[in-house]
Structure 1
Amino acid sequence: MPHALIVDDHTATLSSLAEVVEAEGFTVARARSLQDARQQVQAHPPEVILLDLHLPDGEGMSLLDDLDLSSSPSVVLVTGQASVATAIEGLRRGVSDYLTKPIEVSRLRTILSDITRTRGLKQEIEALRSNLASQGAFGLLVGASSPMQEIYSQISRVAPTNATVLIVGESGTGKELVARTLHDLSRRRLGPFVALNCGAISPTLIESELFGHERGSFTGADRRHKGVFEQAMRGTLFLDEVTEMPMELQVKLLRVLESGSFVRTGGETPLTVDIRFITATNRDPEEAIRQGRLREDLYYRLKVFLLQVPRLRERLDDLDLLAAHFLKQISEAEGHEKKLAPDSIKMLRDYSWPGNVRELKNAVYSAYIMASTDLTPSCFPPEVRNPAQAGPRTDDGLHVHVGMTLADAEQRLIVATLSHFDGSKAKTAEVLGISLKTLYNRLQEYRTETN
């Protein structure tokens, strides 16, 4: 049976907590002081510690200094409402969760249930870290450079907790993969992972996407719709590009974070939120606050734990590994193995990669399409081969310049669209408004010209 340690100096609280914890299948030890708690941890290491913040011989937080929270017990802080700020600091330090007094028994049971279901989680994280040197990957993330090692260390500490995480990084750095890795290594990994890009949805629709709506709440609402708050219940909600959310909705999101409940559009009944929030932005959050794009009070609620994802040009040691990883993925999907020519590696290292890892993936895909066998420098997009001669960069990564022939412009558009849709020729032909046969003919022509 899993073992729990309850640390509180109030006899009545100890007894009531012990009764609930034992009913959830734990053996229980009790401690009324820090000294007693330290002795109990040494005598019988627990899987979970319920820790009161204020004890006769010091602050409960000091017990954290004696624990390695990446491999030791899950710690749940027990605090009065006035000490929530201290509890948030505990979450930053690797505490799993916190409870406020008077304790809500149903929430305590949920926390204990999550801990029980994921007892092997910390061992799994340690296994990922120990295999990093040989695999060059951590969960869904690829890379072994120093900046990525720091990211993995931070993920290891915060993933098993319930802390809200704000991920900051340029477009294409892999923020959603970081969010998915956090979910996969969390107590909520058996629940859903729901992602919503706040910048890709019309301001008139995003409220319904977030909160859902009742039937008849507005014109066209012919049935009840569950928003992402409900879809992500008992799991993780990832709000990408949160700085693009309208300010009036930022107020409502802040209210959900503070109250733990929401109401569907057109509804009256409050619904409890039981999700972990992970948000991301490609902007500097403090600059977004100065520009009026992000509420300052919301920012401080979102950045309980801040993760800064490095740009590709800051982790060029990973470039060979990433290129090989993408080429292997593409070769397996297409059913034909191709290799990266040695002189292509040097060319890739000399490029600045303004589109980061996403641009690298698309460039490798484009080169794969153009190559018959090895991916030589001539197979890669012109902006990668000759950055100084490339045209202006647009948001979707396509480069054109005055004087380019229509045939060259068409080739770039076809290859870029095919990369965008991960090699789906049917989708590419549909979007470009050409037949599948025409697309195949064009790709064959490009391969012939390259050779």
Structure 2
Amino acid sequence: MNHALIVDDDADSAATLRELVAGTDYTVAVAHTLRDARRQIALQQPDVVLLDLQLPDGSGMDLFGDGELLANSEVVLITGHASLETSVQALRLGAADYLVKPVSPRHLNGVLSRLMKPAALNAEVADLAAGLAAQGHFGPLWGQSVPMLRVYEQISRVAGTSVAVFITGESGTGKELVAQTVHELSRRRTQPFLAVNCGAISPNLIESEIFGHEKGSFTGAERQHLGFFERASGGTLFLDEITEMPLDLQVKLLRVLETGRFMRVGSTQSQDADVRLVAATNRSPQQAVADGKLREDLLYRLNVFPIEVPPLRDRPSDIPLLAEHFLKAVGIQEGRARRFTPAALRQLQGQPWPGNVRELRNAVQRAYVMADDDTVDGQWLPGAAPAAPVAAVDDADAPPAASVKPANGARHASAAEGVVVPIGASMAEAERALILATLRHYKNQKERVASVLGISLKTLYNRLREYAADDAGARPGK
């Protein structure tokens, strides 16, 4: 049977905790001072220590300085309030989690149910490190460059704690994969990992989606709805593009992070928020604050442990490894293996990749489809020699124009198809013309259009929304 040690100078609080823990699979001992705690640990090594920081003969932090005293014990801090300082303390000390007084039985049971020996977590990190050395990947993340090794080290350090993680990086760098890896190495791995794109939810519905709502709380609320906090209970909630969340909802999210509790829309009863929060943005957080897209106080609360994912252009040595990984994956999916020529891999390394890993993956998939045999050369990869112009200007009075051939024009379009862009047009105008023409050609099949253009489906939808808004603004009376 597991053994728990409660270290708390408040006799009533210690007695309550003892009753709660005794109802689980634990034997329990109680200490009211540091001296008592050291004696209890010497008598029987606890599996978990529920540790109050404020004690009569010093701080609970002093136990962490006693060499190997807690080497085989998990530590859960007991605090009067959840704060940024508490989170940072928990991380620095190596605590597994922290509980806020008065301790919720449900929250306590959740913490105790997911405790693991530090040695077990260290062994899993070691297994991932072995995979990195042998195959070039750390879980679902691929790459052996120095910038990625730094990301892996950060993940290894923070995953076993309960603190909030804030991931930054350009679109397509793999921020969600970083969040998944943090979750898979955490004590919450057996519980849900729920990823939410804050920019993909209607502003009118986002509060209900995140916190849930009661039946009849607003028009159309015909039944009770569980929000993301409840659906991810016990696990990890990943809030992607956090800067797209409305500011009034950011205030409510901040309150949840500070109190550990939330309420469904239309409810008067608060509930425990038993989730590990990981947030991400493709913006500079400081610039988002300056632009009024992110509350400064929320940034401080989220940015307990920042991880910056490097763009692909800063790790060109990883490009061949990533490209071959993607080519192998699509080959397995399609039932036919193909390989890159050395020249094709060098060609890939020479590209700037503004869309990062996502753009590289799309380019590899497109090249696989276009390959004539089992070898993928550079003909259908970015950086290939440009095709001859295929469009002409019929109007003699029209300004000179540049013609742009669709990306897969040789296989999917006739020789007469193309896009005419007047000289002097902006890049945004040229991009719009190409996107809309490709959309027409493929009869509004958006997934196929995104693949052909080498962009993500999310980027395509964002562009189409922008064009619709521009068109609406240009109409009379708008």
> TM-score surpassing 0.5?
yes
By how many angstroms is 1:34 displaced? Answer: 4.8
* 8 Å contact from structure 2 (residues 41, 69) kept in 1: no
* 8 Å contact from structure 2 (residues 64, 70) kept in 1: no
Q: 1:166 to 1:412 in 2, by over 3 A?
A: farther
**Residue 338 of structure 2 corresponds to which residue in structure 1?**
338
**Residue 261 of structure 2 corresponds to which residue in structure 1?**
261
**Residue 432 of structure 1 corresponds to which residue in structure 2?**
442
By how many angstroms is 1:290 displaced? Answer: 0.9
Q: 1:2 to 1:268 in 2, by over 3 A?
A: closer
Which string of whole-angstrom CA distances, capped at 9 and with x for unpartnered residues, describes residues 360-397 of structure 1?
1111111111112211111213xx4469x9xxxxxxxx
Aligned letter for 2:87? I
Aligned letter for 2:243? T
* 8 Å contact from structure 1 (residues 261, 270) kept in 2: yes
Which string of whole-angstrom CA distances, capped at 9 and with x for unpartnered residues, describes residues 414-447 of structure 1?
9xxxxxxxxxxxxx99993389xx99xx9xxxxx
The structure number with the bigger radius of gyration is 2
| Range moving further from structure 2, 100-109 or 130-139 | 100-109
> Where do residues 29-428 of structure 1 align in structure 2 (5 Å cutoff)?
34=34, 45-65=45-65, 72-81=72-81, 84-93=83-92, 94-115=94-115, 120-371=120-371, 372-381=373-382, 384-385=383-384, 403-405=402-404
Q: 1:203 to 1:64 in 2, by over 3 A?
A: same
Q: 1:115 to 1:386 in 2, by over 3 A?
A: farther
Q: 1:161 to 1:386 in 2, by over 3 A?
A: farther
Structure 2: gaps of 5 or more residues: 389-399, 414-437, 453-478
| Range moving further from structure 2, 51-60 or 10-19 | 10-19
TM-score normalised by L of structure 2 = 0.75
* 8 Å contact from structure 1 (residues 70, 156) kept in 2: no
By how many angstroms is 1:112 displaced? Answer: 0.9
Q: Could you tell me how far apart the structure 1 residues matched to 2:411 and 2:249 are? A: 39
* 8 Å contact from structure 1 (residues 76, 96) kept in 2: yes
Structure 1: gaps of 5 or more residues: 390-400, 415-427, 443-451
Q: 1:70 to 1:321 in 2, by over 3 A?
A: farther
Secondary structure at the aligned position of 1:310 is classed as: coil
Of all paired residues, the percent bearing the same amino acid is 50
* 8 Å contact from structure 2 (residues 48, 76) kept in 1: yes
Secondary structure at the aligned position of 1:203 is classed as: coil
How many matched pairs? 410
Q: Could you tell me how far apart the structure 1 residues matched to 2:315 and 2:39 are? A: 45
* 8 Å contact from structure 1 (residues 92, 304) kept in 2: no
Q: RMSD of the TM alignment (CA)? A: 3.7
Q: Could you tell me how far apart the structure 1 residues matched to 2:441 and 2:76 are? A: 51
Q: Answer 1 or 2: which has greater helix percent.
A: 1
* 8 Å contact from structure 2 (residues 110, 234) kept in 1: no
* 8 Å contact from structure 1 (residues 163, 305) kept in 2: yes
Q: 1:157 to 1:41 in 2, by over 3 A?
A: farther
TM-score normalised by L of structure 1 = 0.79
Q: 1:402 to 1:347 in 2, by over 3 A?
A: farther
Secondary structure at the aligned position of 1:213 is classed as: coil
Secondary structure at the aligned position of 1:378 is classed as: coil
Q: Could you tell me how far apart the structure 2 residues matched to 1:282 and 1:76 are? A: 33
Aligned letter for 1:145? S
**Residue 422 of structure 1 corresponds to which residue in structure 2?**
none
Aligned letter for 1:377? G
| Range moving further from structure 2, 43-52 or 249-258 | 43-52
